Amino acid sequence: MKLIPCALVFCILFVIQVECILQGERTSITNHPYLVSIRDNKTKIHMAGGSIISSRLILTSSFMLDGYDDPKFISVLAGTSDLSAGGTNIKIEQIIKYKYDHADIALLRTTKDIIFTDSIQPIEIPAINFGNSDANAIVAGWGKTKSEDTADYTSELGMANYSLLDNFNCKLRLKEADPEWTPIINEKKLCTVQNLPTTGICKGDLGSPLVLPTSGSKHLLIGIASWFHWKKSPCSNGYPNVYSNVYAYRDWIAKGDGNAIRATSFVLIALVVTLLSIF
């Protein structure tokens, strides 16, 4: 995702702001303790993001696991903002991919219980559908900070704020780039829209969580970064980003670990919806 310094023109337009936050900013893993890095076990290179949802399960992108059917070939790094230093390595014993509808969602089952700390915590999944809402959401990850194919990945965690975009307008915006293209945007997808053309998810961010703030510093996992527009630029280029809608796969996720899945109460959900309607 974009973490480049604010361009002068934007800083002039938004002179009241100290930073142009919509272009991305550095953040700490303690703000996103559910976030993990999924890595090639041989090279130790970051491949994708993921989210801890229970003491034994991590939710991520299945497309990013193509070619990794054997769990011994991947590992997970948790509890660090900087992938080049620190963190806790977590071993995986099973890869569970959703095998229908070309869905981009998978579960990783760990070999043993994850030990939770201030920087390693599970995130809750939603009890209601946030599809077609216009709520403000957050994405954090270790993806590329520039859209060029030659750009390096970053080892430092970054985040950005986006707005959810309804599926109808998401499809229209994506078709603007290629009128002959019919993107698959349905109830199992979520879209976000960027207010600046230089922001968005990029390579390395796929599998990362799309979250909604709830009470205090808590977050609610609503989406998994799945794909971005690539026709005119390697990353986003101002077009909507697309995510797997976690709510749509709730029953399938629940089968992965029974009652170990942490679900938000309807009381908390009602509070979130009320706050979103106010702001």
Query: Per residue in 186-220, pLDDT tens?
Result: 999 999 987 666 678 888 899 999 999 987 778 99
Whether 159 has a pLDDT exceeding 70, the answer reads yes
pLDDT digits (tens, 9 = 90+) for 35-79: 999 999 999 899 999 999 999 999 999 999 998 989 999 999 999
In DSSP terms, which residues pair with 46 in a beta bridge? 39
Non-local (6+) Cβ contacts of 168 within 8 A are: none
Torsion angle in degrees (nearest 10) through CA of 98, 141, 87, 59: -20
Write the DSSP symbol of residue 106: E
Q: Outline which parts of the chain fall under CATH 2.40.10.10.
A: 8-12+22-28+125-248, 34-122
Q: Residue 255 has which token pair?
A: 């089968």
Average pLDDT over residues 266-272: 42
Task: Give the pairing type, strands 74-78 and 88-97.
Answer: antiparallel
Higher pLDDT, 224 or 2: 224
The CATH class, in words, for 8-12+22-28+125-248 is mainly beta
- Cα separation, 252 vs 118, whole angstroms: 29
Is the pTM here over 0.95, yes or no? Answer: no
Q: Which of 3.30.70.3270, 3.50.50.60, 2.40.10.10, 3.30.420.40 is the CATH number of 34-122? A: 2.40.10.10
Q: Classify burial at 34, counting beta carbons within 10 Å of its beta carbon; exposed 0-12, middle 13-18, buried 19 or more.
A: buried
Q: Which helix (H) or strand (E) holds 224?
A: strand 219-227
